[in-house]
């Protein structure tokens, strides 16, 4: 609900949802390890903001109103949570405040859509619960509004992340982004959580820390507990407290290789009805994430950063057809879709009507085509595993846009036919970093034209080529990368070795992605280092290397 300015009466903003399913207390306690040692109410899962607008932002927290009111338990009393927004960290200049009621119906999560703020301005926010004598006060968060839709702004800068597997490592990448004071927002491109049971991915010998619940998550309580586990991570809490987060989901927020009617990692006979599982996953996601749901209950939406950039965010799981068999000609069937008709029309209309200098598209899976060249036998299997291909090797990854070529053809034709320039796809998913031109016809590139460019960020922790093979970085990747680039001339660079994040800096003249790596994903104190930068200049639709990051 929209806030009211001082003075403001209490208003309920909790999302209505089905009652939570209770689960065993030991599992829930593990998801919030500090709960037994604190007095309730308490804010154990940090604070967050998201989806910034010129006049507002969405604020989030989760209150633990009683020691047994654990995530997913369905327990705990209705609790009034007060919130404040100020111009300074000391809260001497409060500009908005209000109150909402957190209930077990929404797992005691709180979302407040604050409006009436000034454009392109930093604000601080906090939450309070309990009586004056024993009030609990949340950590302080910092957020930032966007420029007005018609404003001219010099630049906008995003941290860009994807694929954070709790069991595969620590979230040092988040810590390094949280420490930066120069970011307007964080763009999370999916796989914020993973659904697997412990030891399934990675294998037990390589698990860095066990997630909760230990089994594969399938029901509402399970998804709530998994989200709660992630939000006990100090680096993730720091990221959310430092910057507004703009997030979309990919498959692991549901189950591996999700499509509209199921998933590769879902067995109806033993894991229940897919529609019920997907509904539970979506409900927990919207409860636990600072994301505005559309009227269709999806995450595709559009944010604007003045006249500089429109950010089109896609949902490539809710409406897609089932993945075709790899190598099947069905990938070209125009009846099959990755976006769904309504979303593709929405995207095309938004790109055509945009008067922004840059059209940024957040896509959870890669749109650039990937053809397999000749790889040595010992590399073909691991690379195919990363790209979702059978171990025998084929031309395409059917879980990406390569598996839905008619949607891609229609979209790229729209860009070229309408002379839409400066479209930049921002992508995660495959645990490698890439810088690509997006060719209209890959087979004849570079003789044929490029319709757009694409920057793909590597994973925060999820396994890459070296992790799958358990070898030192660079041992095998140079051969594999050379083979892939040789077969795909539109690929200007790829890094199969590292984990980390990107920083996208957008000005009127160019969009530049700086790629950063972390020294060791298993080390909670891992350092960070710049590795490469690529940019696309205004009007070129091609990427080029830059010798230094933006300062």
- pLDDT of 363 reads 98
- Mean pLDDT along residues 201-226: 97
pLDDT bracket for residue 380 (50, 70, 90): low
- pLDDT of 468 reads 87
Q: Which of 407-421, 439-453, 493-507 has the lowest mean pLDDT?
A: 439-453
H helix or E strand, kind and range, residue 480 = helix 477-487
Residue 199, judged by CB atoms within 10 A of its CB (0-12, 13-18, 19+), counts as middle
Question: What percentage of residues in the chain have a pLDDT greater than 90?
Answer: 78
Superfamily (CATH) of domain 25-144: Purple acid phosphatase-like, N-terminal (2.60.40.380)
CA-nearest of 11, 13, 245, 232 to 106 is: 13
Write out pLDDT tens, residues 320-343: 999 998 777 788 899 999 999 999
- pLDDT of 296 reads 78
H helix or E strand, kind and range, residue 341 = helix 341-353
Q: Where are the alpha helices (DSSP H) in 214-334?
A: 220-230, 234-242, 268-271, 274-288
- Mean pLDDT along residues 451-455: 98
Write out pLDDT tens, residues 35-76: 445 568 999 999 999 999 999 999 999 999 999 999 999 999
How is the chain split into domains, by residue range?
A: 25-144
- Mean pLDDT along residues 235-255: 98
- pLDDT of 379 reads 66
CA dist., res. 518 & res. 526, Å (int): 6
266, pLDDT greater than 80: yes
Write out pLDDT tens, residues 341-370: 999 999 999 999 999 999 999 999 999 998
- pLDDT of 396 reads 60
pLDDT bracket for residue 31 (50, 70, 90): low
Residues 253/190, Cβ–Cβ less than 8 Å: yes
Write out pLDDT tens, residues 465-482: 889 888 888 777 888 888
Which residue is it, tokens 């509004």? 145
Q: Across all residues in the chain, what is the average pLDDT?
A: 90
pLDDT bracket for residue 486 (50, 70, 90): confident
CA dist., res. 303 & res. 149, Å (int): 9
165 contacts: CB under 8 Å, gap ≥ 6: 191, 194, 201, 202, 459, 460, 461, 462, 463
């Amino acid at each position: 609900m929209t806030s009211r300015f001082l003075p403001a009466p209490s208003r309920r903003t909790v999302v209505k949802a089905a009652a939570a399913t209770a689960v065993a207390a030991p599992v829930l306690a593990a998801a919030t390890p500090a709960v037994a040692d604190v007095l309730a109410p308490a804010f154990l899962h940090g604070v967050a903001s998201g989806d910034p607008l010129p006049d507002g932002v969405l604020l989030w927290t989760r209150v633990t109103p009683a020691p047994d009111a654990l995530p997913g338990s369905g327990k705990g009393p209705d609790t009034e949570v007060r919130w404040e927004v100020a111009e300074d960290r000391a809260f001497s200049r409060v500009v908005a405040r209000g109150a909402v009621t957190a209930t077990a119906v929404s797992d005691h999560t709180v979302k407040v859509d604050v409006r009436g703020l000034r454009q392109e301005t930093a604000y601080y926010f906090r939450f309070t619960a309990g009586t004056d004598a024993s009030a609990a006060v949340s950590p302080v968060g910092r957020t930032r509004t966007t420029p007005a839709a018609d404003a001219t702004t010099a630049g906008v800068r995003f941290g860009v992340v994807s694929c954070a597997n709790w069991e595969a490592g620590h979230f040092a990448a988040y810590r390094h982004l949280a420490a930066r004071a120069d970011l307007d927002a964080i763009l999370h491109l999916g796989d914020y959580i993973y659904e697997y049971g412990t030891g399934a991915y990675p294998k037990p010998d390589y698990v860095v820390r066990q997630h909760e619940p230990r089994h594969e998550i399938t029901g509402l309580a399970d998804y709530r507990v998994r989200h709660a586990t992630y939000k006990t991570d100090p680096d993730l809490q720091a990221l959310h407290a430092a910057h507004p987060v703009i997030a979309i989901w990919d498959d692991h927020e549901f189950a591996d290789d999700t499509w509209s009617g199921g998933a590769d990692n879902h067995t109806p006979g033993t894991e229940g009805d897919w529609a019920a599982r997907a509904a539970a996953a979506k409900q927990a996601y919207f409860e636990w994430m600072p994301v505005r749901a559309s009227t269709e209950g999806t995450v595709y939406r559009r944010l604007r950063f003045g006249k500089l950039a429109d950010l089109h965010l896609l949902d490539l799981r809710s409406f897609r057809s089932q993945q075709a068999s790899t190598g099947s000609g069905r990938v070209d069937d125009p009846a099959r879709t990755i976006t769904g008709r309504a979303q593709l029309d929405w995207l095309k209309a938004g790109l055509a009507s945009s008067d922004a200098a840059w059209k940024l598209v957040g896509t959870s899976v890669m749109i650039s085509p990937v053809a397999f060249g000749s790889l040595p036998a010992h590399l073909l299997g691991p690379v195919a595993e990363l790209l979702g291909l059978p171990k025998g090797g084929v031309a395409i990854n059917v879980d990406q846009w390569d598996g839905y070529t008619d949607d891609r053809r229609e979209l790229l034709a729209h860009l070229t036919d309408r002379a839409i320039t400066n479209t930049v796809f921002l992508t995660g998913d495959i645990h490698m970093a890439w810088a690509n031109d997006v060719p209209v016809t890959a087979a004849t590139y570079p003789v044929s034209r490029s319709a757009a460019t694409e920057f793909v960020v590597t994973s925060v922790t999820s396994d890459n080529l070296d992790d799958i093979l358990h070898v030192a970085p660079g041992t095998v990747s140079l051969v594999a990368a050379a083979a892939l680039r040789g077969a795909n001339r539109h690929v200007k660079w790829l890094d199969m070795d590292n984990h980390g994040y990107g920083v996208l800096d957008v000005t009127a003249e160019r969009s530049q992605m700086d790629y950063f790596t972390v020294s060791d994903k298993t080390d909670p104190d891992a350092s960070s280092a710049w590795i490469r930068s690529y940019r696309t200049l205004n009007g070129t639709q091609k990427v080029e290397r830059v010798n230094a990051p933006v300062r």
